[in-house]
Chain A
Amino acid sequence: MTIPDTHVASRHNHPATTYRYDQFDHAFVRERVAEFREQVARRLSGALTEDEFRPFRLMNGLYLQLHAYMLRVAIPYGTLTADQMRRLAEIADRWDKGYGHFTTRQNLQYNWPKLIDTPDILEALADVEMHAIQTSGNCIRNVTADHFAGVAADEIEDPRPTAEFLRQWSSAHPEFSFLPRKFKIAITGATLDRAAILAHDIGLRLVKNDTGDIGYCVTVGGGLGRSPFIGKVICEYVPRASLLAYLEAIMRVYNRYGRRDNKYKARIKILVHEKGIETIRAAVEKEFAAMDQTAFLQDPQEFDRVAASFAPPPYETLPAKSLQLAKDRQEIPAFDHFVSVNVSPHKTAGYAIVTVSLKPISGIPGDATSHQMRVLADASERFGFGELRVSHEQNIILPHVKQDDLFALWQMLDAADLATANAGLVSDIISCPGLDYCSLATARSIPIAQAISQRFSDMARQRRIGKLGIKISGCINACGHHHIGAIGVLGLEKKGQESYQITLGGDPGFSASIGEILGPGVSADQVPDVIEHLVDFYLAERHETEAFIDTWRRLGHARFKDVLRREGEDGADI
């Protein structure tokens, strides 16, 4: 099925900068859609009971939420084309309520689809080489990657070819589709971890060994949820050719020995925690040695084919610094702020990476209307070779913008309410959907994010505070990553009332740490007050440009706890 796009005709004048399906990928995804269409029909006919249907609908991204079904679409390694973004907008208009929600796992969620429509939606996605395969369920989930992959100045290698390999290897896996619990893999090729790999079941970091060969440092057993753990190194260096075999070995050990008696203890992090990393490493290495690795050895020809599809676009040769940009910045202060906050260095001279914030002040973190999606698609074609990225911070990235074009892009974004200059600042809040949508939630998340954003609505103050990650989850499942927020907020329910637990000191990077609890929970109204007190204390105590997390590490948790105690004694009712 093909939907005619009435808004903007597709333009194919851009070379592919991301993986394009060949006939076999197309056939595979169509086969999965046809299979799911049959499963829906068999559910309706009674051939499948609801319990039996459940894992198959989940493996196709379809959840039953509080008010309706929710469909979670994969954006593998966070990369998508302008045409794909337009298709997401069309689906939002035709089958949902005209918007979508970008999540912390490089997925897009539609909150209001009907069960009966979902096969058609999946078909519409397949038309543009997209799917919802394994965005849920007890299987290997959508593989996520650094959203600056391929353009970051600090990169050893673009992680996306590996991620595409993993997407293919993990799709409809005969052995690993009924695991004890969900399984998340993230990969980065940079020296700065923007993909939070240590918070994943498996984290992969591209590294060079002593002889200059590229391989992977593999960590295992990271995860958030009710028992947060930082991933532990299971192997310092797995050669590229052996990666799939090594991952097969990890998965087999997990599939056989992961706990199935209690779903809250079923993730691999619990297995690693209970048995110890040495025991798990020994079991994996024994399995790795025993298996016939030939079928899993990476085929260099195939790797080259996949890697070639991520070739850089035809950049122009430009001076490193744009005079036009300097002039524009001087003339328009609001634009200058946008550039200093939302624009990151690109590895190619004269280009820049632009983060488009989906966190307008008092808005819903990660939501985009179909109009905004179309504006982003158009902007990427006019200014960025037709490529977009989705970050786990729930923002959109335009990865290849000429510095000379930044001003025109900013004007275009501003007209669509997409120019909020808060990337990485205190109002760039990660939040799960919470009790407004989710059946698991114990408290609201979105209104808390909105209230904090409102409290810090003075942008000059935000810039003074600098980079500060606030992350909010509406239950202990921690979809909002609160454990790894410099300031984390966890919504719980205590005696019928929402109660919010604040944590400090979480860090999503290579120096990952889990936040520590500040004290007793506070009410929804008090959350902005508490955060404001903490931020004010940090501003008073910080050394020059020291980040919040560094001040917290230097002064210690107790000093921050004292702040609140003192405020309480002063009658601030905390």
Chain B
Amino acid sequence: MALISNGQFVSDSWRRLADEEALPQSGKIIVSQERLAHALAAHGAHSDIGVIIHNTTEIDTLAPVLPQLGLIAISFPAFADGRGFSLARLIRRAGFSGELRASGRLLADQYAHALGCGFDTVEIPDDIAQRQDESQWRAASKTHQRTYQRGYVSSGSILDARRKAAQ
């Protein structure tokens, strides 16, 4: 797996814990949705617990534990399955301020979409990382300089720029 942050391939400070693996005493770990309640109970409330969730997750089921989480990874089962983009919006709207990660077969061509919907990082399998190297992700982070939409994360909305230009 490769992790992209700010248009760069970076090392991952989080470790994905397999369900059969015992909970470690320390370190940042990402657990499955099924194991989340147990992990939080065992670790107490601190931000070293992350969770990977399905893109069909209802935000209401997650809302109570959001303040206890340091990371939420939303899985993208296929790059063309855009449910994760809407779920990211809902998670941000619910007040989550930790790291929001898109995990799956995302393409560099979707990086701007991911950032716009509130993701911080993208985690991709090695075969994509080999074909789409860091330079492509770095370029992709700059392909949508201004967006027509307001209310999304971007380097600026066109409407706001128009306003400024008219002053």
A residues contacting B by CB (< 8 A) are 22-25, 27-28, 31, 34-35, 38-39, 42, 46-49, 52, 55-56, 138, 168-169, 171-179, 252, 255-256, 260, 290-292, 294-296, 299, 302, 305
Contacts and interface: CB of A to CB of B under 8 A. Distances in A.
Given A55-B80, A302-B162, 18 more contacts: A27-B146, A28-B148, A35-B143, A47-B136, A48-B107, A48-B132, A169-B148, A172-B147, A175-B113, A175-B152, A176-B82, A176-B85, A255-B85, A256-B86, A290-B93, A291-B93, A292-B93, A295-B151
Given A177-B113, A292-B151, A295-B151, A28 B82 contact: no
Interface in B76-118: 79-83, 85-87, 89, 93, 107, 109-110, 112-113, 115-117
B166 to A, nearest CB: 9
A169 B149 CA distance: 6
A246 to B, nearest CB: 14
Q: Most B CB atoms within 10 A — which of A28, A138, A173, A294?
A: A173
The 3 lowest CB-CB distance pairs between A and B, nearest first, are: A174-B116, A178-B82, A295-B151
A252 B59 CA distance: 13
Interface in B138-162: 139, 143-154, 158-159, 161-162
Contact of A174 (B109, B146, B152): B152
Q: Which of B93, B107, B132 has the most CB of A within 10 A?
A: B107
A58 B40 CA distance: 44
A175 B150 contact: no
Nearest to B128: A52
A363 B93 CA distance: 55
Contact of A178 (B80, B115, B136, B159): B80
B112 A52 contact: no
A175 B117 contact: yes
Contacts of A47: 131-132, 136
A292 B94 CA distance: 11
A168 B157 CA distance: 11
B41 interface: no
A175 B144 contact: no
22 contacts: A23-B165, A24-B165, A28-B146, A34-B143, A48-B109, A48-B131, A55-B80, A172-B112, A173-B149, A174-B112, A174-B115, A175-B89, A175-B116, A178-B85, A178-B110, A255-B82, A256-B83, A260-B83, A295-B150, A296-B150, A296-B151, A302-B159
B109 A39 contact: yes
Nearest to B139: A38
A255 B80 contact: no
B144 A31 contact: yes
Nearest to B112: A174
Contacts of A23: 165
A22 B149 contact: no
Interface of B: 56, 79-83, 85-87, 89, 93, 107, 109-110, 112-113, 115-117, 131-132, 136, 139, 143-154, 158-159, 161-162, 165
Nearest to A38: B139
Contacts of B86: 175, 252, 255-256
Contacts of A169: 148-149
B136 A42 contact: yes
A34 to B, nearest CB: 8
Contacts of B153: 174
B81 A260 contact: yes
A168 B113 CA distance: 16
A256 B116 CA distance: 17
Given A255-B82, A295-B150, A296-B150, A28 B113 contact: no
B149 to A, nearest CB: 6
Contact of B85 (A34, A168, A175): A175
Contact of B79 (A27, A52, A292): A52
A193 B1 CA distance: 53
A305 B158 CA distance: 14
Nearest to B156: A24
A299 B83 contact: no
Nearest to B130: A47
Given A46-B131, A47-B132, A52-B79, A174 B85 contact: yes
Nearest to B150: A295
A24 B161 contact: yes
B139 to A, nearest CB: 7
Nearest to B55: A256
Nearest to A253: B86
A138 B93 CA distance: 25
